[in-house]
Amino acid sequence: MKKTIIVFSGDMDKVMAAFIIANGAAAMGDEVSMFFTFWGLNALRKAKKVKVRKNFIEKLFGWMMPRGAEKLPLSKMNFAGMGKQMMKMIMKKKNVNSLPELIEMARDMGVKILACSMSMDVMGIKKEELIDGVEIAGVATYLGEADEANVNLFI
Amino acid sequence: MKELYINARGMQCPGPIMQLHKTLKDAEPDTEVVIEVTDSGFKKDVQAWCKKTKNELVSLNEEDGVIIAKIKKKS
């Protein structure tokens, strides 16, 4: 049965947990929909800067927020990025999939990735800046998906 | 009858169940697969996976930290 996950957090560890659950559920044969909102959207940004028209505030937002999965901070012990680097090193050594790998796996498995249009508007994130295969939607889409699901997580 | 083998040693969660899913997805019914895993959570996970996906767990052993499961495709 379907699972839905709301990804609100833009912290690397939390987004990783979301994708591990999503991939696991897909491997159990379940349909999965992930709904990215607010800080979670940063996980879906392309690593490369994309040329789009933005006003001053939007540019500022875009510049201050992490651009893509690789850049997300840790929720604890980030220590201005040093903690995150150390965590990434340990994870690599222990053969844990990185966040970009987990995202790629999820797309391979057919996990539906939805981006909240309202948050995109607030944060000035344009569709072109998001990785391919992301669908733009609103709360009704999420609720519609949740109605068909038996597990719903807010991360 | 065909028997498949997956070496998932060193792979972390959710790698092993994803390998199982991928391997058995397109396999013929009654295909058997042997998977070797070092992730200690797999012992419980493989039981949950089989129950949920309605496949048969034929055997489950552990030798020197390696969990060896044999699964028969049913669904």
By Cβ distance, the residue of A20, A28, A96 closest to B49 is: A28
Measure A69 CA to nearest chain B CA, in Å: 19
- Contact call for residues B61 and B42 (beta carbons, < 8 A): no
- Chain B contact probe: residue of A21, A95, A101 with most B CBs at under 10 A: A95
- CATH architecture group of domain B3-72: 2-Layer Sandwich (3.30)
By Cβ distance, the residue of A23, A94, A95 closest to B18 is: A23
Q: What ipTM was reported for this prediction?
A: 0.87
Measure B59 CA to nearest chain A CA, in Å: 19
User: Which of the residues of B are catalytic?
Assistant: 13
Mind listing the pLDDT tens digit of every residue in chain A (155 residues)? 999 999 999 999 999 999 999 999 999 999 999 999 999 999 999 999 999 999 999 999 989 999 999 999 999 999 999 999 999 999 999 999 999 999 999 999 999 999 999 999 999 999 999 999 999 999 999 999 999 999 999 99
Mind listing the pLDDT tens digit of every residue in chain B (75 residues)? 678 999 999 999 999 999 999 999 989 999 999 999 999 999 999 999 999 999 999 999 999 999 999 999 997
The CATH class that applies to domain A2-154 reads alpha beta
3-state SS of A2-67 is EEEEEECCCCHHHHHHHHHHHHHHHHCCCCEEEEECHHHHHHHECCCCCCCCCCHHHHHHHHHCCC
A20 touches chain B (CB under 8 A): yes
